Structure 1
Amino acid sequence: MVVRILFLSDNFPPEGNAPATRLHEHARRWVREGHKVTVITCAPNFPEGRLFAGYRNAWRHVEMLDGIRVVRVKTYITANEGFLKRTLDYMSFMLMGFVMGLFERRPDVVVATSPQFFCAIGGWALSVAKRRPFVFELRDLWPASIVAVGAMRKSLTIRLLEKVELFLYRRADAIVSVTRSFREDLVARGIHRDKIHVVINGVDLERYEPRSRDASLACEFGLEGKFVAGYMGTHGMAHALPKVLEAAEFLRERDDIAFFFAGAGAERATVERLVVERGLHNVRLIPRQPKERMPALWSLCDLAIVPLRDTPVFATVIPSKIFEAMGMGVPILMSLPEGEATAIVRNTRSGVCVPPENAEAMAMEIARLADAETEMEQLRRQAHEAAPQFSREHLARSMTGILEGLLR
């Protein structure tokens, strides 16, 4: 069965964050299987709120990427910080995605993704206008995560957002959750289990595989001969990165250990300021990098640091970077509340876990692993062996199976 998929997402390559990567890696496989995929998105600007080179914020621009038809629409652009401005950004995409979607050929199914659900509102409205099934891809429990990171307190606004959230869950013909924990949360709130499917994040094994350390990059960033603990990805409010810097401060006398940060986001300026203020000569900072360069950057890392703040909602999430680390054969250091993600790492024996926001425990474990060559070799092997069960190839097929099921 050939499925015509209309997918709304306000992130898409050349942006390299988790939503953009997941959609691209799924969609190019759907195209390979013969499905027709149109993605409605905006001009790439995440997370700095600046247009990527070669793009403009046009009313409508159509391009082809790996066989995927990409329709970019004009939106209000701002950096990934500040609730009000980001909400205006989200709402502008909701409106423009819906309006421009009306001019698209009638699809078989409309899919829209979170983390925020304004995108999903646009997708639901399009599904009504096109009289086609609506699928809500649930990537985050928004607005709960807003409260969890301290961006907003419980208030009338949050309660109104929660009502909209539940409305969308009920109106969706299917919900595709990226974690089992999200599914259980929805069931507890009265959403029928039968329409909630789980397709977790994964890794593109065509791109991410073990490789020798890139010698030229190691030289460029002063990482030669170092045990490198790396943080790759968005520098956001959820990630407790000041605590990682505290761990670096504990280890500043270990000349053989370095911390390596690559990315951008709302907390990037804070990270840069703290590194200067504390004189952390053992920390290397580089800006957000193109997706194509990420495997080479991962090759510099002996250990992947995966931190989140110590709040219950983060026990329900699975950071997607753990799967890239597995693909590269890089052991994982988890520092987040016990839950689904820590269970994956423990069950696959692909890394170690320390309590969230505990800088001293993180530092002690990094120092211990830097001196444990035999254990590190075993963790590298186990991480790589775990990766195939999280292959994007398999996960993409799982999702098309869900979409096809709505059309039978």
Structure 2
Amino acid sequence: MRIVYLTQWFDPETHVIKGTKFVRALQSAGHEVTVVTGFPNYPTGRLYPGYRLRLIHKEVIGGVNVVRLPLYPSHDSSSLRRSFNYLSFFLSAFVYLLLRRTPFDIAYVYHPPITVGLAAAVAGLWRRLPFILDVQDLWPDTLAATGMAGGRRSMQLVGLLCRFVYRRSDAIVAQSEGMKTALNAHGVPADKLVTIRNWAEAEPPINEGEARLAPHHFVVVYGGNLGRAQDLGTVLDAAARLRERKPDILIRLYGGGVEAEPLRARAEALSLTNVEFHGPVGKDAIGAIFAQADALLVHLADHPLFAITVPSKVQAYLAMGRPIVAGLAGEAARLLVESKAAVVAPPGDPRALAEAIASLADMPLEARKAMGHAGHDYYQRHLSFQSGVRRTLGLFDRARPT
């Protein structure tokens, strides 16, 4: 089949869950895949070095054909500028799908933002293009939970757009069982929904050596978006509790986002010498950092929406085979408890998070190694790349044009 993978973000942007590795697996199954995406600018909102906006830019990344279309680069706290970012790529993708001479057989569409799905849905009315929608965030709920919502009418409009895209889609992938249930409650028929959990884009071996990031500290690493959904202020408050009690614990935050500067300012105001900020790093580099961390950290805000979400960090951390400390609730918390790889605290609770970090630091090394092994084994059994790709390929067979 000729597949167009429509996604606003793609490699080399570091937060991509289904990137080059995913596309190459589709190619290996005999499909011809073209990635249609924007110019890389996440998470800073500035174009990556070596790129400049143009009408169309074609390149090959790891054997994958990539078509880049213009957009308004932005990823800050302004709802207006973020809207321009989403709408500009919608227009580019819609025009591209409408005017392309050789039609695609099917589209695989990554959401968020829902405007990417809207481009496939509207263009598909003319081009008779079926599409599979991969739902990673539940809009407009996520916009409200992260403070990006506009007024009530704006959210109503986003809700209408979502329902239109859901109706037009031929199948919908939910990244968690909770999200699948929520989509069904939003009116999506159960027979259109399938749960395919995310996997880790990189699956390195467990670090069996003694290489550590800081030999005289217990280093807890967070890697990813520094945004509102992550509520990393709770992590800073936990660090303040640990500063005197456990001076050997060091928390390192790797990444960027709309909360990066406010978090730095808050850490400085609190004189948190046990917290370090590092900018975004590439996938290979962050994988090496994870492998040498004493523990890996994940946290989400205390919001009902996030109780049905499994952040992609969970899979990435489990695959690394490192012990995990988590401030999560709901499905993600249950998954980590079941894996036996994590100490889990309620989200938004600095005292509980500090206790969780301290308890992990106090564990014997062998006990922490056992947690890492348990997590890696759990990942291989339940969340592996091979399992997810196999189920995705089954969806293409179901939606194959007649």
Superposition TM-score, scaled by structure 1 size: 0.93
1:41 aligns with 2:4: no
Tell me which residue corresponds to 1:314: 306
What amino acid is aligned across from residue 133 of structure 1 in structure 2? P
Q: Classify the secondary structure of the residue corresponding to 2:292.
A: coil
User: 10, 13, 16: which one pairs with 1:15?
Assistant: 13
User: 327, 331, 334: which one pairs with 1:340?
Assistant: 331
Q: What does residue range 214-363 of structure 1 map to in structure 2 within 5 Å? A: 218=213, 223-253=214-244, 254-337=246-329, 339-363=330-354
Distance 2:235 2:275 in 1: 10
Distance 1:268 1:262 in 2: 10
In the alignment, is the contact (CA less than 8 A) between 1:202 and 1:395 conserved in 2? yes
**Structure 2 stretches lacking a partner, 5+ long:** none
- Alpha-carbon distance, 1:171 to partner: 1.3
What amino acid is aligned across from residue 142 of structure 1 in structure 2? W
Tell me which residue corresponds to 2:122: 125
Tell me which residue corresponds to 2:82: 86
Q: Mean alpha-carbon deviation: is it higher for 144-153 or for 175-184?
A: 144-153
What amino acid is aligned across from residue 140 of structure 2 in structure 1? P
- Alpha-carbon distance, 1:248 to partner: 0.7
- Alpha-carbon distance, 1:97 to partner: 1.1
Distance 1:151 1:348 in 2: 33
What amino acid is aligned across from residue 165 of structure 1 in structure 2? C
Distance 1:79 1:385 in 2: 36
Distance verdict in 2 for CA 1:208–1:334, change over 3 Å = same
Tell me which residue corresponds to 2:176: 179
Q: What does residue range 169-208 of structure 1 map to in structure 2 within 5 Å? A: 169-204=166-201, 207-208=203-204
Indicate the RMSD between aligned Cα atoms, in angstroms.
1.7
Tell me which residue corresponds to 2:394: 401
Q: Percent identity?
A: 30
Q: What does residue range 80-119 of structure 1 map to in structure 2 within 5 Å? A: 80-101=76-97, 102-103=99-100, 105-119=102-116
What amino acid is aligned across from residue 296 of structure 1 in structure 2? A
Superposition TM-score, scaled by structure 2 size: 0.94
- Alpha-carbon distance, 1:352 to partner: 1.9
Distance 2:204 2:101 in 1: 35
Tell me which residue corresponds to 2:156: 159
- Alpha-carbon distance, 1:240 to partner: 0.7
- Alpha-carbon distance, 1:367 to partner: 0.8
Distance verdict in 2 for CA 1:51–1:104, change over 3 Å = farther
**Alignment: residue pair count:** 397
Q: What's the CA shift string for 1:248-288, capped at 9, x where partnerless?
A: 11111222110010000010111111121111111121100
- Alpha-carbon distance, 1:119 to partner: 0.9
In the alignment, is the contact (CA less than 8 A) between 2:219 and 2:293 conserved in 1? yes
Distance verdict in 2 for CA 1:36–1:213, change over 3 Å = same
> Where do 4+ consecutive residues of structure 1 move more than 4 Å?
212-215
Q: Classify the secondary structure of the residue corresponding to 1:5.
A: strand
- Alpha-carbon distance, 1:204 to partner: 4.1
What amino acid is aligned across from residue 383 of structure 2 in structure 1? F
Distance 2:226 2:349 in 1: 18
Distance verdict in 2 for CA 1:272–1:212, change over 3 Å = farther
Distance 2:31 2:195 in 1: 21
**Structure 1 stretches lacking a partner, 5+ long:** none
Distance 1:273 1:104 in 2: 52
Q: Classify the secondary structure of the residue corresponding to 2:95.
A: helix
Q: Classify the secondary structure of the residue corresponding to 1:48.
A: coil
Distance 1:43 1:245 in 2: 33
What amino acid is aligned across from residue 136 of structure 1 in structure 2? L
Distance 1:255 1:59 in 2: 53
Q: Classify the secondary structure of the residue corresponding to 2:222.
A: strand
Distance verdict in 2 for CA 1:211–1:88, change over 3 Å = same
Distance 1:320 1:384 in 2: 15
